[in-house]
Structure 1
Amino acid sequence: MSKSWSRRNFMMSASVAAIGWAAATGLAAATNASARLWKGKRVTLLHFTDTHAQLETHPEYLPGANPEIQMMGGYARLKTAIERERASCDGACFLADGGDDFQGSGPATWSEGEAVLDPLKALGLDVFVPGNWEPAYGPERFKRTMASLNCPVVCYNFHDIASGARLFPPSVTLERDGVKVAFVGITDISASKRHPPAEYQGMDTARMEGLRDFVKQLRAREQPDLVVAVTHTGISISRQIARETPEIDVILSGHTHERTMRPILEGKTIIVEPGCFGSFLARLDVYLDEGGVARHDYRLIPVLEGRYDEDPAVKALVDKSLAPYRERMSRPLGRTETLLMRYDVLETTADDLITDAIRKAAKADIGFSNGFRFGPPVPPNTLTEADLWNFLPMNARMKTGWITGKELRLYLENELEQVFSRDPWRLSGGWGPRASGMAIAFNALAERGRRVVSVKVDGREVEDERRYTIAGCVRGGEPVDVICRHSGTHDAQELPFTVHEAIREYLEAQPVIALRRSGREKALDLPPMVFSQDAILSSRDLAAAPTTPFGLPPG
């Protein structure tokens, strides 16, 4: 797959088929013409989220009939794209960041987020909403980092447990060019329960009661022209928020790294999500009359290396931030002859590498990964220390123990419920269980507790009473018997090495790898590859067709 800019191939890519370069420029011209003719108020919302500390231009995957890798993103190019869009606005313009910026790379972890701070501040944010990974370095560091931002930080559901008070204002109302916009922040509801306890000590994200009443009161008190929720919850929960709180005009969604190529409408609420890693910038133009939102235009803007030069000032800040870590980042670990990627809801080649290494190092029957969607794709090339930390930004000790076949099935049912639940409030993350040594077949759209069809370990169907050893990583502050969210693991114990050490050892023994998906996690009622959690749920539960271009590839 070519890294070079190819207009023809880019236009064929499914993830940007509706926003290919000719289409995008044509829509921009149409939008500008509409703006000039519009007599009422108008506002432009620019939005990015989930950059996960990817400060520099990186490979990005564009699926479709001819999948390809393009070089995209980087804060310096993102700044150029932002300023270009700001310059073309005919009316008020606001830039929102949906969070998960301070974790996701080696330099971010080694500096506890400090490497990200100055480049991010230079983008000129108007509002920031903390993502679920912002507290990765502990509560006190999290609070200091949020206080260091040069823009309002807002969140409705981030609370201090001891006092019950919110850590941040729930909203901020900004006025510009005669337009008042009220921004409400919402972060991942399940973060304080699913993350390592040490990260969220004394903090809670689960309290969502009273949101609709709050928005009604906000409208009455502030009299905004537009109410915008910036939600780090994923599209499926964002859609549920829109159903339950129709007083919200726009939802700028994040967390599940989806790319919406056209807006999702829940009633009159407009919902968009711009992917991750700074590879895309969302632009939503909203036209207002006396009745509220009259119409809107939307573009998902690809931040392509061949289209946007790097802003010199931001480039200098990025270089300064990364300078102490360049040598460490570039250390070679091995080589991959196939694409390593982590975008699929089910099996990914990146997690196949991680779990193979975990299982081998622990000498376990099953090696588990927490999954996630960290890390840009790695094309066939040398694997470096930077790639390792992109996929696993939080190095951790490993642990092992045993569970029965019956306990394994129950665990997998619980994990699948959090990916495919009919109740949006039960959803979390957007990825299924990922493992080595185990093959699972299931029906994603089945009822809760009835999804698993087959679980095989070492090629044999599991037996209820048989013991199987499992291995995974330690998460700070959780009980020793919890391995990859499985509580009650028998004879659990920590091992004297980390998951990074296990991968390095694996690559030393096998310095050239060529991983391909092998059907470790297989949904019998879905296509072989699934890139969008929301597309699955939309096609099952809603009349509207799936709108996320990262969704279901042909056959």
Structure 2
Amino acid sequence: MASTSLAVMGMAAVTPVFAAAEPGFSAPAWKGKRVRLLHFTDTHAQLETHPEYLPGASPEIQSMGGYARLKTAIEREKASCEGPCFLLDGGDDFQGSGPATWSEGEVVLDPLNALNPDVFVPGNWEPAYGPERFKRLMARLNCPVVCYNFHDTTSGSRLFAPSVTLERGGVKVAFVGITDISASTRHPPAEFRGMDTTRMEGLREFVKELRARERPDLVVAVTHTGISLSRQIARETPEFDVILSGHTHERTARPILEGKVMIVEPGCFASFLGSLDVYIGDNGVAHHEFRLIPILEERYEEDQHVKALVDKSLAPYRDRMTKRIAVTETLLMRYDVLETTADDFITEAIRSAAKADIGFSNGFRFGPPVPPKTMTEGDLWNFLPMDARMKTGWITGKELRAYLENELELVFSKDPWKLSGGWGPRASGMDVTFRALAERGHRLVSVRVDGREIEDERRYAIAGCVRGGEPVDVICRHSGTHDAHELPLTVHEAIKDYLRAVPIIAPQRSGREKALDLPPVLFSQDAVFSPGGIASAPTTPAGLPPG
């Protein structure tokens, strides 16, 4: 039995959502074992309370998150738990803000350790500062780091233990870590030098042996793979009891069931905490209750110890973070699978600086929304946490079509193992119309550049960013760009030049990327091919995007 992902909608985002009790089940009278699993993931270095989007709430933009408030929520959940409680971190914590980049993740370390997670699984962005720095940061965490599929390419050995079994209050739980399978092939090569995340062979056999050897009451996968792939892992490895998913920043208001495996994902940016109560009987899981807990400023005060650690970490960067760079008159947000207002103005700046026909953005799904207000340096770094030199070159119309077809396959493939990223092509100067449900290589309906349908043999100048370790002819994953060369400015410099010329911006969605068989606004990649089809697709944010 499978149920579709349910995005947070309206006031459901404000009121915790409980699973309905099974007939005849009385939780207070339960005599067997019970355990509470608390889960957060993809905080992307958002250490402080920030604006967040709650569709249907009034107002829709509310102040949420921050490590100090998250700590308060965690402690409340632990105090109210009638059995043992475990806190799991699904990764992507050390990258996503200016201070994180400027300190190579250092600002996150002490506040994160103060949250006291029991297990940490590295996300795809943890190696953003290179493999040596990544390994040093992981070694300084005060909890076990586990990952089944993080290997050293030279020795073939795992960088971390694939699992850890913890026993507390008479309940034994085995945790298996899995990170983004495509991270080492999709990220800039310099970030993953000597490391490989693609090896998933033997997972089911491993879990079977783990069950036989450790005899745990519960086997939990903490996956930084995204909802769609987490669901596929559940189908292929039904020996898991629970999958705590991350990476695609989805907000599940109730568990998704694949057979008997429960799958949940608690959003991103420390804006939510997932709380899953599992009741264990003689034959395994007897019942479960899940709550998606919004970390609202009005509901959770700041833990003073964690607040002090955050303040200390960010103190050297306060002036730079708060420096005004522009004013936006419209909401800047990046939660849509397709076009976003944030990428609309970013790609306009890239195209303008490079004098190109098409300006591309690598997309991403961070950072938090920026309401109409003064726009700061910190906001820019939240959207683009890794600055890089710009690059330009040209491709033919035929090559552009092939590139776009491949990009759409990464987002809408019917095979979850082929999915990557979670967002469609984002560009300025180009309008794309397609069918998401069509077969690979046959999705494009129309591609227009400067208002005209592209021609196969015509040359089109494109621009994007340099990614460390890539060949010079690769621009935004397009290999074979002709006459490719670097420009003497970075993406951030291009944006600041653009904002000096246009200090008041008001980007609005204009239909640059349009799917004929999807809702006009789509916040969940998983919903496209979920049981029930497009009718089941959420039309409100599921939190979003890999990173």
8 Å CA contact 1:254–1:273 kept in 2: the answer is yes
Q: Which amino acid aligns with 2:92?
A: D
Tell me the residue number matched to 2:68. 76
Corresponding letter in the other structure for 1:401: G
For 1:467-507, what per-residue CA distance to the aligned partner results, in whole angstroms no more than 9, with x for missing partners? 00000000000000000000000000000000000000000
CA distance in 1, matches of 2:480, 2:143: 44
Q: 2:541 maps to what in 1?
A: 550
Residue 157 of structure 2 corresponds to: 165
Tell me, in whole angstroms, the C-alpha distance in 2 between the residues paired with 1:68 and 1:347. 20
Using the aligned pairs only, state the percent identity. Answer: 79
The answer to which of 213-222 and 533-542 deviates more is: 533-542
**Would the aligned equivalents of 2:66 and 2:271 in 1 still touch at CA under 8 Å?**
yes
**Corresponding residue for 2:438?**
446
Match of 1:284 among 276, 281, 301: 276
TM-score, normalisation: structure 1: 0.94
Alignment partner of 1:15 out of 8, 22, 25: 8
Provide the residue aligned with 1:430 in structure 2.
422
Q: Flag the 1:257–1:160 CA change in 2: closer, same or farther, 3 A.
A: same
Give the 4+ runs in structure 1 shifted more than 6 A.
26-30
Does 1:493 find its partner at 2:485? yes
Is the 8 Å Cα contact of residues 473 and 483 (structure 1) preserved in structure 2?
A: yes
Instruction: Find the counterpart in structure 1 of residue 197 from structure 2.
Output: 205
Within 2, Cα distance between the matches of 1:373 and 1:269? 27
The residue type equivalent to 1:490 in the other structure is H
Gaps of 5+ in 1: 1-12
- 1:111 aligns to what? 103
Structure 1 equivalent of residue 3 of structure 2: none
- Other-structure match for 1:411: 403
Give the alignment's TM-score, normalised by structure 2. 0.95
Deviation at 1:16, TM superposition (A): 4.3
Partner of residue 526, structure 1: 518
Specify the alignment match of 1:343 in structure 2: 335
Between 1 and 2, higher relative CO (CA 8 Å, sep ≥ 6) is seen in 2
Unmatched 5+ stretches in structure 2 = 1-5
Question: 1:15 is aligned with what amino acid?
Answer: V
Quickly say closer, same or farther: Cα 1:467–1:20, change in 2 above 3 A.
Answer: closer
Equivalent residue number for residue 5 of structure 1: none
Check the 8 A contact 2:336/2:541 in 1, yes or no.
Answer: no
Matches within 5 A, 1:219-238: 219-238=211-230
Check conservation: 2:267, 2:542, Cα contact below 8 A: no
How far has the Cα of 1:535 moved from its partner? 1.1
Question: For the structure 1 residues 540 and 23, does the alpha-carbon distance in structure 2 shift closer, same or farther, using more than 3 Å as the test?
Answer: closer
Matched, 1:178 2:174: no
1:377 to 2:375 alignment: no
Q: How far is the alpha carbon of 1:17 from its aligned partner?
A: 4.5
**Which among 292, 304, 310 is matched to residue 296 of structure 2?**
304
Paired amino acid for 1:142:
F
CA drift at 1:540: 6.1
Q: Say which SS state the counterpart of residue 62 (structure 2) adopts.
A: strand
Q: Read off the aligned partner of 2:541 and give its amino acid letter.
A: F
Deviation at 1:66, TM superposition (A): 6.8
Q: For residues 75 and 26 of structure 2, what CA distance do their matches in structure 1 show?
A: 21
**Cα distance, 1:19 vs structure 2:** 3.7
How far 1:15 sits from its partner (Å)? 2.0
Aligned residue pair count: 536
Looking at structure 2, the residues matched to 410 and 495 of structure 1 have their Cα atoms a distance apart, in angstroms, of 25
- Is the contact made by 2:335 and 2:541 (CA closer than 8 Å) also made in structure 1? no
Distance in 2 between residues matched to 1:230 and 1:551, nearest whole Å? 19
- Alpha-carbon distance between aligned partners in 2 of 1:280 and 1:195, rounded to the nearest angstrom: 27
Aligned Cα root-mean-square deviation (Å):
2.0
Displacement of 1:374 after TM fit? 1.2
Give the deviation of 1:139 after TM superposition. Answer: 0.2
In the TM superposition, residue 63 of structure 1 has moved relative to its aligned partner by 1.9
CA contact (8 A) 2:13 2:54 kept: no
Indicate the residue corresponding to 1:6 in structure 2.
Answer: none
Indicate conservation of the 8 Å contact 2:16/2:291, yes or no.
no
Separation in 2, partners of 1:15, 1:504: 35
Cα contact 2:522–2:539 (8 A) shared by 1 = no
Whether contact under 8 Å (1:259, 1:549) holds in the other structure is no
Q: Distance in 2 between matches of 1:288 and 1:121?
A: 30
> After the TM superposition, which of the residue ranges 449-458 and 33-42 deviates more from structure 2?
33-42
**For the residues of structure 1 that align with 2:531 and 2:59, how far apart are their CA atoms?**
23
- Aligned with 1:156 (options 144, 148, 152): 148
CA 1:370/1:284 → structure 2, altered by over 3 Å: closer, same or farther? same
